[in-house]
Amino acid sequence: MSREEIREKLRKLEESFIEGRISEETYKELKAKYEAELASLGLEPAKPSPSAEGLGDLFSKAADFCSSNPVVFVPPILSGIISAIINLILGVSPFGMFRGLRPPVGPSGPVVPTPSLYGFLAITALASIAIAIITLVFNGWTIAMVKHGIEHNFIDINASFSYALSKLAPLLAASILVGIIRGIGLILCIIPGLIAAILLALTLQAVIVDDYGAVEALSVSYNVVKRNFFEVLIIIIVQFVVEAILGLIPYVGTILAGLAGAYFTVLLTLLYYSRREPKASAITV
């Protein structure tokens, strides 16, 4: 085969891997074979990495992946329903907006806070923490589904959920670290906090896909995003706008925003796969 034919095969191989049509084992085997053929021709191995693909291609691939594997929408639906139920119990308006925690108002004005109010505040805080953990686990579940789909060409709901649960500790630790870093950045100045949020946007992907620990995942996300900063920035901006608009829809806004969030989670995970340096010892689902 000629140089161009081999490189075309490499390009198609990369596409097949990203779209989940072949396993990681097959991908590595064929890639090594094609690169060996290039080497035999006295040429540098081609690098038709998906990173050469445009952002529009990744948006399209994410849409194709979701349409071929609609099961990825199960986690956000369940998460949205559970969160909505908890929020409704705590007093959410029919329009999906919090009424806010205001002290009771009597005929002569606001009533002095009572132990019952403090109890309510405590319950609300605990509920918020519970929702955050639920969202975290279900988001990790979605990423695990993408991992399973890409590496095994099918998605096992139970296996991917079990895998996400097994990563709860590093997911939680990484999320806390990201929250602290973002918080410090926002306190010092809003812009550094936003930049930190973007640079660490692939932290959960690093934990789920390549089995990195919390601290390592922060570093991996930073390095990957730094090389693809504007692509990740565009994705995050589009996600924010879409979810904000959908969140305004009465009753079902939270669930619709969750569905959109699943799509963007798939998109960011595909971007991570195409831009990261594979970890040789990565654990598969």
- Boundaries of every domain in the chain: 3-48, 57-275
| Own/partner long-range contacts of 150-154 (Cβ < 8 Å, ≥24 apart) | 150/17, 150/18, 150/20, 150/24, 150/273, 151/23, 151/24, 151/284, 151/285, 152/23, 152/284, 152/285, 153/20, 153/21, 153/22, 153/23
Summarize pLDDT for 118-158 with one digit per residue, the tens: 666 777 777 777 777 788 888 899 999 999 888 877 888 99
Summarize pLDDT for 196-219 with one digit per residue, the tens: 889 999 999 999 999 999 999 999
- The answer to whether 183 touches 255, Cβ cutoff 8 Å, is no
Q: Is the pTM of this model over 0.85?
A: no
Give the span between the Cα atoms of 170 and 182, in whole angstroms: 18
Q: Which two structure tokens, joined as six digits, stand for 44?
A: 């540098």
Q: Which two structure tokens, joined as six digits, stand for 4?
A: 């161009």
Per-residue pLDDT band for 35 (boundaries 50, 70, 90) equals confident
Beta carbons within 10 angstroms of residue 138's beta carbon: 24
pLDDT for the residue 66: 93
Q: Give the DSSP H/E element, type plus range, for residue 105.
A: strand 105-106
| Residue 7: pLDDT over 80 | no
